[in-house]
């Protein structure tokens, strides 16, 4: 894939990589995710709900699973593991 002028750029490579990723099922999650964005609530709340649903919140348990040195006990209650 080349630009109109025939040259190859980083932007061209990025577009090609993104098209390839979007056409694979690796990142596809089954569900009606668009309904989260239709909820009548502040955008911050919808974004938080989406991130929790997709497992994107960097909880202490998730950070430790990615080899980040941290205590897994919740600092608020100091009794349970901090997870979603």
Domain ranges of the chain: 1-29
56 and 84 in contact (C-beta within 8 Å)? no
Query: Left if phi > 0, otherwise alpha if psi is -120 to 50, otherwise beta: which for 65?
Result: alpha
* C-alpha span between 17 and 3 (Å, rounded): 15
- Cut 0.75: pTM above it: no
For residue 53, what pLDDT is reported? 82
Residue with tokens 């630009």: 3
**Mind listing the pLDDT tens digit of every residue in the chain (84 residues)?**
567 777 788 888 888 888 887 777 666 667 777 788 888 999 999 999 888 888 888 888 888 888 988 888 888 888 888 888
Chain CA centroid to CA 72, Å: 21
For residue 44, what pLDDT is reported? 94
For residue 58, what pLDDT is reported? 87
């Amino acid at each position: 894939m080349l630009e109109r002028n025939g040259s190859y750029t980083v932007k061209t490579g990025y577009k090609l990589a993104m098209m390839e990723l979007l056409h694979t099922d690796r990142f596809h999650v089954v569900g009606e995710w668009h309904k989260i964005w239709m909820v009548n609530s502040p955008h911050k709340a919808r974004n938080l709900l989406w991130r929790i649903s997709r497992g994107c919140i960097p909880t202490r348990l998730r950070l430790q699973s990615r080899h980040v040195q941290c205590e897994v006990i919740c600092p608020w209650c100091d009794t349970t593991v901090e997870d979603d």
